[in-house]
Structure 1
Amino acid sequence: MTSVPGQHTGILREENIALRQILGYRLGTLTSSPYRLPSIGQCLPGTSIKDILLVGVDVDTGGGYEAISEEQSFYIGISIFDTRSLTKQPKDLGDAVKSYQFINNNSKPCRWAAKSFLFGESKLIELSDLPASFFLLTQGRDYVLVAHGIDMDIKFFNNLSPQIANGACYILDTVKAVQYPLQLYYRYSLENLLDEFNIRYAKLHAAGNDAHFALKALLMIAVRDGQMASAPETTTTPIHQDLFRILDAIAHAPVAIPIWTEIPPTASHTPQTKPKLGIFAKRRLRAAAKAARKASQELPYIDELNGQGDYDGENQDKTAGELPP
């Protein structure tokens, strides 16, 4: 039997080095890391922070990502954090991450996603119009794509419009980025990640919400990573406490959490069919049913259940489905 690994030092990923480059902290580690990243955008004037959009994305569908058709139900989340907001005192921390959700039809899954989206109204569009909407939101800026488990999202974008992924300065997966700061030997779910950082959330699996909360989790990954800096490193690259304070505040900005709950509908296009039984299985079922009928006839209260004894049918209806005290 495989044993569970002991204390793990975490895996320093390329994503961690990219995040340090983007937000301008622990820069002394960039030259000593085994990763050689291309320069990600230009720095904001007077800072080491990149002038860039962090764009959280999430795509949900019940029909797979291999091919795209308008008949499939898609709900796509896009959330944007502009690093320019870090150079000024934000008026409302809740507005620092702007979130959008797009649906392509009025199917039950899309209606559920639209009802569950916490950050505004979902927009009904044709899938072919999504790239134009994406580039309108990014407005010609340099951007980094962010998601929690991003492979399927990138597959969707590449099938729809390769320019979305190809135009990104970098593609950052929070599943990988969190392993080093949290010293993990396994991969966290988004729920676990949000719980770890004490970020309030609700209605995950609605794409717009997932994109929003994954982006907030990324900000806390940077905070935790920055706080891990060793003493020798701090003498050459000061830890930007103000930066981490603002990132923490944005990640924990209040979100209106609904009190109602509703699980996502199943969006499978595969018809549900009953399994076929072999002749021996059918015989066993018939024998079991016969034995059950015989046993029920021998019960002393069978007449009451057939309505011949004292039986309060109205009370039965009221208590149906309740557990006995």
Structure 2
Amino acid sequence: MEEEKSSVQPERQVFLREGTLVLRWLFGYYAKRRLPDGATRPRWPHTLSTWTPRKPKTKFREATLVSIDIDELKEQNGFPVQFHIGISIMPTQDLHDQCHLASLHEQSTPYRIQSYHWAVENTDHYSTHDNLFCSRKRGHREVTILKKLDIDLNPIFTIDTTKAARYPLQAFCDYTLKKLLQDFGIPFTNKQLHVAGNDALFTLRVLLMIAVTDVRRELGEVPTWVPVFEAIARAPLPPMPLKHAGKAAIMKRNKLAAIKQENMSLPNGSDRPEQSSSDTRHV
């Protein structure tokens, strides 16, 4: 009789990626002794720290988080000639400073992340008069395009958020940006996705929540910076700035309303008072 084969499958494991380790090092909760088997420690660059002796004793590495997203790309002979680029910026020093404030002002929380959106060689959608609301996803397309334009950011690390989120979420596959936003409770609408500025902003918010989820999983005591990161990542989105046509329409509407109000304040709604009979002159 043949020996029965076991149907038990080996347990699948989610491996710790470099991007997650970088976040641990960046926000001060990296510990080599807690690394799972097989995890390799990256070579850490020499950087300054944001540590201060006063409480809460947050200890971040001084760095600038930059999120980049490029959409609507058109190339000629392999060279980018038209595209939309979104860039969002958040220095760790700003995050550190927020941890030492008495409270976060709700109205200013969405603007903790500086976000920009530019349309390059494209006048079909945006006017030069527009101040657009701006907000990097996975892949290396953005880096490749910037290098073609002779722009080298020379980052100390490049983090793929879809990879970095795997271990904290115990996910066996890469999640889309939309899925990450949903799982982390970050406000968005479908209409706001796939716009370079917005996606750059959403990606940086996701990065903060990856660190929050990972530190909650790794440490028994939640650091004081966790509520700050959550407040910034989950803050309501600021209103979309109006385009040039929208601004012109509002100005016209306000002007008509002012004229109407002025006419209503005159006697009998007339444009000017009627002359009395005594003031009438006959020629």
| TM-score, reference length from structure 1 | 0.59
Q: Which residue of 2 aligns with 1:149?
A: 138
Give the deviation of 1:254 after TM superposition.
1.2
Q: 1:247 to 1:155 in 2, by over 3 A?
A: same
Q: Any idea what SS the aligned residue of 1:228 has?
A: helix
Q: Which residue of 2 aligns with 1:45?
A: 51
Q: Which residue of 1 aligns with 2:91?
A: 82
Q: 1:93 to 1:115 in 2, by over 3 A?
A: same
CA RMSD of superposed structures (Å):
3.0
Match of 1:192 among 134, 154, 179: 179
Give the deviation of 1:6 after TM superposition.
9.8
1:98 is aligned to 2:130: no
Q: Is the 8 A contact 1:93 1:250 kept in 2?
A: yes
Q: How many residues align?
A: 215
| TM-score, reference length from structure 2 | 0.67
- Tell me, in whole angstroms, the C-alpha distance in 2 between the residues paired with 1:96 and 1:26: 25
Q: 1:257 to 1:6 in 2, by over 3 A?
A: farther
- Tell me, in whole angstroms, the C-alpha distance in 2 between the residues paired with 1:40 and 1:220: 25
Q: Is the 8 A contact 2:89 2:115 kept in 1?
A: yes
> What does residue range 154-169 of structure 1 map to in structure 2 within 5 Å?
154-164=143-153, 167-169=154-156
Q: Is the 8 A contact 1:55 1:79 kept in 2?
A: yes
Q: 1:27 to 1:48 in 2, by over 3 A?
A: farther
> What does residue range 114-153 of structure 1 map to in structure 2 within 5 Å?
118-119=133-134, 147-153=136-142
Which amino acid in 1 is paired with 2:14? Answer: G
Give the deviation of 1:58 after TM superposition.
0.5
Q: Which residue of 1 aligns with 2:228?
A: 246
Task: Show CA shifts across 1:107-164 (max 9, x none).
Answer: 43x539x9895349xxxxxxxxxxxxxxxxxxxxxxxxxx221311111111112422
- Tell me, in whole angstroms, the C-alpha distance in 1 between the residues paired with 2:120 and 2:166: 35
Q: Is the 8 A contact 1:56 1:78 kept in 2?
A: yes
Which amino acid in 1 is paired with 2:114? Answer: K
Give the deviation of 1:34 after TM superposition.
1.4
- Tell me, in whole angstroms, the C-alpha distance in 2 between the residues paired with 1:24 and 1:83: 11
Which amino acid in 1 is paired with 2:126? Answer: R
Q: Any idea what SS the aligned residue of 1:172 has?
A: coil
Which amino acid in 2 is paired with 1:169? Answer: I
Q: Is the 8 A contact 1:149 1:175 kept in 2?
A: yes
Q: Is the 8 A contact 1:200 1:252 kept in 2?
A: yes
Q: Is the 8 A contact 1:22 1:40 kept in 2?
A: no
- Tell me, in whole angstroms, the C-alpha distance in 1 between the residues paired with 2:26 and 2:213: 15
Q: Is the 8 A contact 2:64 2:92 kept in 1?
A: yes
Q: Is the 8 A contact 1:8 1:184 kept in 2?
A: no
Match of 1:227 among 216, 228, 231: 216
Q: Is the 8 A contact 2:69 2:86 kept in 1?
A: yes
1:182 is aligned to 2:169: yes
Q: Which residue of 2 aligns with 1:212?
A: 201
- Tell me, in whole angstroms, the C-alpha distance in 2 between the residues paired with 1:207 and 1:224: 26
Give the deviation of 1:65 after TM superposition.
9.8
Q: Is the 8 A contact 1:101 1:207 kept in 2?
A: yes
Task: Show CA shifts across 1:185-213 (max 9, x none).
Answer: 11111001101111111311110100000
Q: 1:61 to 1:251 in 2, by over 3 A?
A: same
Q: Which residue of 2 aligns with 1:111?
A: 126
- Tell me, in whole angstroms, the C-alpha distance in 1 between the residues paired with 2:115 and 2:133: 9
> What does residue range 219-298 of structure 1 map to in structure 2 within 5 Å?
219-229=208-218, 234=220, 239-240=222-223, 242-256=224-238
Q: 1:117 to 1:188 in 2, by over 3 A?
A: farther
Q: Is the 8 A contact 1:10 1:182 kept in 2?
A: no
Q: Any idea what SS the aligned residue of 1:61 has?
A: strand
- Tell me, in whole angstroms, the C-alpha distance in 2 between the residues paired with 1:20 and 1:64: 38
